[in-house]
C-alpha cells in the first residue's frame, strides 16, 4: 500500500509548493482537490492548459494522483442544485485523465440543504434512496463515457451510511465504474474494540472486491473524529484485514492539521511495516 494525503492539507500560494510539502513529508500519492490550484472544489470552468500543468508538476515531483475530489450533495432537496453538481462533476470527469487519474470521489449526500456531511432523518427514506439512484445513474453515465471510476464512501451522516447500503447501491447500479472508498472510522461512532473489529470485518467482507482507495482517520472515545493514530481505531487489525483481502491500493489520510502530517505518516508507515 502507498501512503497518501489530501492535497488541501497543505495551503500554499502555488501548486508546486503544495506538492513539495506532500513529498517532503514522505507521501507518494494524494487525493487532489481543485482548491489546490486556486479554484473551487467543484469549479464551473477549468483553464485549458491547467490539467496538463497539474499532471506535469506531479510527475516531476514523483507523485501519483490517486483520485480527484468531486463531492457534491447527490440528494440535495433542490433538484437544480443536484443538476448543477452533475454539470460540475462532468467537467471534472472530462479533465480527470489529463490530470493523471481515472478516479473521482463522491459524496452520496444528505437531505440537509446546507451541509452534505450533516445527518438528516430523511436520509433513510425511500425518497432519499430514489433520488440517489437517479443522480448516481446520471453520474455513472458521464463517467462510463470517459472511462472514469466513481468512488463512494459509506458515512454515518449520508444516505449511504453503512457497508450494507453501499453494497446495495453497487448491486442496483450494475456498473464496473462504481467503486468504494473505505474509511473504517466512518462506519461507527462509539463502540468497543470488539465491536469496531466486527464492524470493520463485516464491511470488508461485503465490499472488498470494490475497494479502490482506503482512507485513514480516527475516532476518539466520545465519537469525535481524530487524526489517524490519535484515537481508538485498531489500525493494526484494520490494515491486516484489508491486506488479506488483496487490497494494494492507496491509503490516504485526511482530517488532520498540517503540523500532524509527519506524525500521521510515521504512524501509518509503522503500522504497515508490522502487518
pLDDT, tens digit, 9 for 90 and up, residues 89-117: 999 999 999 999 999 999 999 999 999 99
The pLDDT mean for the chain works out to 97
Confidence of residue 218 (pLDDT cuts 50, 70, 90): very high
Of 98, 37, 109, 33, the C-alpha closest to 69 is 33
Question: Using an 8 Å Cβ cutoff, are 154 and 187 in contact?
Answer: yes
β-strand pairing of 250-253 with 2-6: parallel
Q: How far apart are CA 248 and CA 189, in angstroms?
A: 27
Rounded mean pLDDT, 45-51 = 97
Confidence of residue 119 (pLDDT cuts 50, 70, 90): very high
Which residues, in sequence order, are CB contacts of 42 under 8 Å at separation 6+? 34, 70, 71, 72, 85, 88, 89, 92
Which residues, in sequence order, are CB contacts of 13 under 8 Å at separation 6+? none
- Please give the CATH superfamily to which domain 2-273 belongs: Divalent-metal-dependent TIM barrel enzymes (3.20.20.150)
Rounded mean pLDDT, 38-50 = 97
Helix (H, G, I), strand (E, B) or coil at 104: strand
**Grid coordinates in use for 6?**
489530501
pLDDT for the residue numbered 275: 87
Encode pLDDT of 72-88 as tens digits: 999 999 999 999 999 99
Encode pLDDT of 158-196 as tens digits: 999 999 999 999 999 999 999 999 999 999 999 999 999
CA distances for 273 relative to 3, 52, 198, 225, 244, angstroms? 12, 35, 23, 25, 14
Indicate the pTM of the whole model: 0.96
pLDDT for the residue numbered 222: 96
Amino acid at each position: 500500500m502507498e501512503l497518501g494525503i489530501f492535497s488541501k492539507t497543505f495551503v500554499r500560494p502555488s501548486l508546486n509548493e503544495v506538492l513539495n510539502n506532500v513529498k517532503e513529508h514522505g507521501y507518494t500519492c494524494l487525493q487532489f482537490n481543485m482548491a489546490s490550484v486556486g479554484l473551487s472544489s467543484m469549479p464551473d470552468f477549468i483553464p485549458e492548459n491547467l490539467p496538463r500543468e497539474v499532471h506535469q508538476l506531479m510527475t516531476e515531483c514523483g507523485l501519483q494522483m490517486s483520485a480527484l475530489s468531486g463531492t457534491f450533495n447527490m440528494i440535495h432537496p433542490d433538484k437544480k442544485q443536484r443538476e448543477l453538481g452533475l454539470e460540475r462533476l462532468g467537467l471534472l470527469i472530462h479533465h480527470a485523465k489529463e490530470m493523471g487519474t481515472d478516479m473521482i470521489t463522491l459524496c452520496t449526500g444528505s437531505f440537509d440543504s446546507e451541509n452534505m456531511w450533516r445527518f438528516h432523518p430523511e436520509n433513510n427514506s425511500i425518497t432519499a434512496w430514489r433520488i440517489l439512484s437517479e443522480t448516481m445513474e446520471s453520474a455513472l453515465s458521464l463517467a462510463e463515457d470517459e472511462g472514469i471510476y466513481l468512488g463512494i464512501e459509506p458515512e454515518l451522516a449520508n444516505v449511504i451510511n453503512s457497508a450494507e447500503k453501499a453494497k446495495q447501491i453497487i448491486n442496483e447500479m450494475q456498473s464496473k465504474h462504481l467503486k468504494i472508498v473505505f474509511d473504517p472510522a466512518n462506519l461507527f461512532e462509539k463502540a468497543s474494540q470488539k465491536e469496531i473489529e466486527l464492524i470493520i470485518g463485516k464491511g470488508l467482507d461485503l465490499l472488498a472486491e470494490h475497494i479502490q482507495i482506503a482512507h485513514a482517520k480516527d475516532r476518539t472515545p466520545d465519537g469525535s473524529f481524530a487524526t489517524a493514530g490519535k484515537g481508538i481505531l485498531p489500525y493494526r487489525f484494520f490494515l491486516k484485514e484489508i491486506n488479506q483481502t488483496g487490497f494494494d491500493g492507496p491509503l490516504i489520510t485526511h482530517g488532520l492539521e498540517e503540523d500532524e502530517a509527519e506524525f500521521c505518516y510515521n504512524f501509518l508507515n509503522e503500522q504497515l511495516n508490522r502487518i
